[in-house]
Chains A and B, each alone.
Chain A
Amino acid sequence: MHGSSGPSHLRIRVFAAPILLAAATITGLLAALLWGTVGQYVAWVTVGAPVLVVLGVWLRRSKKA
């Protein structure tokens, strides 16, 4: 298997997760405003996703230590 190491591939690798999290956050912020109760549930998951990522990294490091 040949992995591309071009600049665009590298940019995607670096920015893919942040862009996904940003999109999730924006979706959640608007969902709670536009979609009533269902939107609130969506917001809890998507706006909370960045917190879960940080918590996950912190827990992973704590286990290693």
Chain B
Amino acid sequence: MKARTVRLWSVVHTWTSLISTLFLLLLCLTGLPLIFHHEIDELLGYAPQPEAHASAARATPQVVADAALAADPGRVLQYVSWDKDEPGIVIAFTNNAPDGAPDNATLRAFDAVSAKLLGPVGVGPMLIVLKLHTDMFAGQAGKLFLGGMGLLFAVAIVSGVVLYWPFTRRLRFATIRDHASRRVRWLDWHNLIGVVTVAWALVVGLTGVVNTWAELMLNQWKATELASMVAPYAGKPPPLHLASLDDVVARARQAAPGMEIAFIAFPGTPFTSSHHFAAFMRGDTALTARLLKPVLLDGETGEVADSRALPLYLQALFISQPLHFGDYGGMPLKVIWAALDMLTIVVIGSGLYLWLARRRKRAPARTDAFAKRAPVPS
């Protein structure tokens, strides 16, 4: 590689890293507790616990819906969700209006058998950490900004791989030059940790970027696929009386055999039309549980109106989520995720140190050169 090419890649690596450093540190530091958010919530008492029951007969969806409305008088139901990993709990979202802002929604957990209110969901210190991690309390603009930082991170990684060759070609793999200066030792650690974690960092970084586009993708789906699904029912008013949720769930199951219900969106919410329920169905494996299939049902009669697979870009979004969160391989994978996160913090920190050390090294040289050029006073 020519010296000029190396310099060019070095400039790309330096500046893409420097611009994104502060935000990447924020993402890594907030991401670390988020890996264990469930365990932390449990420890701090913010995770609702299902009751112990001798009988396994689950409360019907309508009973849970009634309990949710009774727990939040004057408000409406937006969604009811069933988490595959928490079979003892049903979560209900209530809001001021069906299309109410997400920040105004209240999430409550109900026992899946007795439909008893177990407590609020998504509260406590982890919510602050999550908001910092996803949008820095700046809404969609914050999300897109962090997505941009993620793209810079990806460019920094690729340019780092390109520079790995000229910087290490005379060394054996994993060499740390202990007898050299501190700067050289940190350069070796930076190169080693950076190159061994490159695949994980790229996957987590890019899936994070994809997640920042989630709202845009959902808007696109609503404007195209969902619009075409509800087009035959255009002009139909919002339902005067809602169909029983039990009927809705039963018909959705018939329309998607072999699948279970993940969540139901009520008419008028952002995930459906003003006249329809949308039941989002999931499979039972780690992969198919992420690939949701929407079933549209009439809000008054509960009859199936349409059902289609999600478009590729939404499937990509849903598959990208576990690859970003690391929550699909049990506790050992979470611990590994945390270790890789900490190694990424070391790479970012050492990169910053190397840049500062190089500047300090150059500064006296510049001063000397200036002193040599300056006229000597007589």
Interface residues of chain A, those whose CB is within 8 Å of chain B, are 10-11, 13-18, 21-23, 25-26, 29, 32-34, 36, 39-40, 43-44, 47-48, 50-51, 53-54, 56-57, 61, 64-65
Contact = CB atoms under 8 A, between A and B. Distances in A.
Main secondary structure on A side of the interface with B:
helix
28 contacts: A16-B173, A17-B173, A18-B173, A18-B198, A22-B198, A25-B199, A32-B333, A33-B319, A33-B328, A34-B287, A36-B285, A40-B330, A43-B329, A44-B336, A47-B329, A47-B340, A48-B339, A50-B197, A50-B340, A50-B343, A51-B336, A51-B339, A51-B343, A54-B196, A57-B174, A57-B176, A57-B192, A61-B176
Nearest to B161: A18
Given A51-B340, A54-B196, A65-B178, 4 more contacts: A14-B173, A18-B198, A33-B319, A57-B174
B316 interface: no
Contacts of B332: 40, 44, 48
B374 to A, nearest CB: 45
A32 B176 contact: no
Interface of B: 161, 164-165, 168-169, 173-174, 176, 178, 192-193, 195-200, 203, 285-287, 319, 322-323, 328-330, 332-333, 336, 339-340, 343
Contact of B178 (A11, A14, A39, A61): A61
A43 B161 CA distance: 24
Contacts, number: 93
Nearest to A7: B169
A22 B333 CA distance: 17
Given A34-B286, A57-B192, A50 B200 contact: yes
Q: Which of B168, B169, B196, B285 has the most chain A CB atoms inside 10 A of its CB?
A: B196
Given A29-B203, A29-B323, A51-B339, A36 B286 contact: yes
